[in-house]
Structure 1
C-alpha cells in the first residue's frame, strides 16, 4: 500500500490517499499511469517515476497539467471509464479516497 503524499503541494487540506499499487499493477498496463506523451498526445510509455517528477504543483509552459490535477484526472478519469464499462465499485467521490 502506498500513501500518496506530495510535499510539493504543501499542507494537505484533505486526508492523504492510501493507494493499493499492487492491486492496480496486476490489472492495468504500467503505461496507463506511468506515461509520457509526445507532442501529438500519443502515449510513448514511460518509466516508473513518481508523478511529481514530471508534474509540478503549478502549471507552466513545460507543465500544462499541474500535479493535483494530474492525480485527479488520472485516478478519477480511469475510475469513471471503468464504471462506463460496467465495472462498479471504484471510488469517485472525494471522501471515498480521502478517508478521514
Structure 2
C-alpha cells in the first residue's frame, strides 16, 4: 500500500506500509518492454532530482493512536526493563 501526501508546493512524499518492497527493476519489468522504454524516457524528461531518506521510528518520541497500540503493544508501549542487580564487590586486595 502506498500513500502519497502533498506536504507543500513542489514536495511530494510517499509513505509505504506493509509493502514487500519490490526492486525498481521488478516494477519496470512489469510494465512490459514498450511501456518500460516510454516510462524511462518520461522520467529523464521530467524529473529534475530525487532524494531517498531512511527514517527510524522511535516509539518513545511518538504518541500513536490507540489502534496502533493494540496492534503492537510491545513496540509502541514497551514495559520498563527491571533494574540490573548490582554485583557483589570485594574489598581491594582480596
Question: Which band: TM-score by shorter chain?
Answer: under 0.3
TM-score (norm 1): 0.17
TM-score (norm 2): 0.18
More strand by share: 2
